[in-house]
Amino acid sequence: MTSEALSALAADVAAATSKPYVFPVQEPDVIAVAGFKGGVGKSRTAKELAALKAAVLTDFEWDWGGVTRGWGYHEEERVKAPLLEAFRTGKTPTPLSGRGRKPDLIPGHTDFERNQPKSEVVRDALIQWSRELKRRLVVDTHPGGSESTYGAMAAARVTVVPVVLGDDELRALEGLLRTLADYPLLLIPYKIGRSPAAWALDELERLATVYQAQVGPAVSNYPWIPNRRVRVPICASPPSARTTPFIQEMKAVAEAVEKYGR
C-alpha cells in the first residue's frame, strides 16, 4: 500500500509539473543532498549515492555527526584541512581514497562554518573540482540555509532532498521549497513506515505540485540503520536478507537521480 500510494503520488506530481529543466553544461556533474532540518537521512543518502555512483563524497557538514567522521577521518589527528586549503588556494583538492570499499572523500572540517566562501565561489569551485578530477561529486550539505549549501545547489544538476513525513519535517520542507523553488529538486520520501498518514501524503503532494518539485522513489524506515557502526556504506557491502530491500530502494533513487532533467 505504501509503495503504491507513493508511486501514484509521484506520477500525479510529474503530470502536474511538466516544465522542463535545463541543467548546467558540465561533465561530469555535481549532485547535492540538502535539507532544512537535521535527522531526515541526508548524510546517509549522500553516502549511499556516492557509493552507487562511484562519486567523490564531498562533505560540507561541519558538525561531527556528518559523513567525514563516519567515513573514519578525524580532523584532530590531521595536520592539514583539505577542504579549507582548497578554498584558500583555489586549487582542486585530492580526494582521500576509500580503497574501493568506501567512496573517495573530500573531508569536512569544523572550521568550515566560520570560513565558508560566498555561494558563487563555492559553485565555481565544485564545478572546477568535478571537471579537473574528471569525477562526479556528491555533496552533503549542512542542514539549513548557508553560503556553502546555496553554492552546492547552484552547482548541482539536481539536489536530492530526503523528506520525512512528519509535521515538523514537512514545515521545514516548505521553508526550503519557498526559499529555493527555482532550483532543480528531487524529493525522496524517506523513513517511510508501512502506513503513512493520509494527511502527510496529501501535504507532500501539495508542496511538490505548488513548488514544481519532482517526487522520486521512496525509502522505507529501517530501525537497524542508526545502530549500524560499520563505516562502509550499506550499498557497498555484501547484501544480506536484512540489507537487500534498502539497497534496492537506494538503487531506484540513484536511477531517478541519473534520469533527472535528461
pLDDT in tens, 172-204: 999 999 999 889 999 999 999 988 999 999 999
pLDDT band at 13 (very low <50, low <70, confident <90, very high): low
pLDDT band at 14 (very low <50, low <70, confident <90, very high): low
**pLDDT score at 66:** 87
Per-residue pLDDT at 144 exceeds 60: yes
The backbone torsions φ and ψ at residue 88, rounded to the nearest 5 degrees and listed phi first, read: -70, -40
**pLDDT score at 217:** 96
**pLDDT score at 1:** 47
pLDDT average, residue stretch 49-76: 92
Q: Which three cell numbers stand for residue 111?
A: 572550521
**pLDDT score at 127:** 96
**pLDDT score at 169:** 95
Least confident stretch, 31-35, 147-151, 178-182: 178-182
**pLDDT score at 9:** 66
Q: Which three cell numbers stand for residue 31?
A: 549532485
Are 42 and 65 in contact by the 8 Å Cβ rule? The answer is: no
**pLDDT score at 27:** 57
User: What would you measure as the largest C-alpha separation in the chain, in angstroms?
Assistant: 53
Residue bearing the bigger pLDDT, 18 or 99: 99
pLDDT band at 30 (very low <50, low <70, confident <90, very high): very high
Q: How many CB atoms lie within 10 A of CB 91?
A: 13
Burial class, 185, CB count within 10 angstroms (exposed 0-12 / middle 13-18 / buried 19+): buried
Q: Which three cell numbers stand for residue 34?
A: 540538502
Least confident stretch, 19-33, 106-120, 147-161: 19-33
Pairing relationship of beta strands 105-106 and 56-59 according to DSSP bridges? parallel
**pLDDT score at 5:** 66
